[in-house]
Amino acid sequence: MNEGLEEMKKDILKKVLSKEAFERLGRIRLVKPEIASQLELYLIQLFQSGKIKSQISDDQLKAILERLSSRPKFKIIRK
């Protein structure tokens, strides 16, 4: 069941990303899988909401990645 979901996710990403951007995402997945997952979810949400009008280039992917990584991180401290 999970394989079908992964396949669907991969198909959507191949549609919305240029070849270079898709390859970059693969390299990110090798080094930082948690960031790659976050990026994939974000791109799929954009696609499903109709906000992606054309393929995302490698430069656009870098800009999205920069925005995602610059979000403030919150740390919950329990006492």
Comparing 60 with 6, the larger pLDDT belongs to 60
What is the set of domains in the chain, with CATH numbers? 2-64 (1.10.8.140)
CA distances from 37 to 12, 65, 79 (A): 14, 12, 31
Q: Which residue has the tokens 């791109």?
A: 43
Interatomic CA distance for residues 29 and 40, integer angstroms: 10
For 22-63, the pLDDT digits (tens) are 999 999 999 999 999 999 999 999 999 999 889 999 999 999
> What value does the CA radius of gyration of the chain take, rounded to a whole number of Å?
14
**pTM value > 0.85:** no
CA distances from 25 to 14, 53, 62 (A): 11, 19, 10
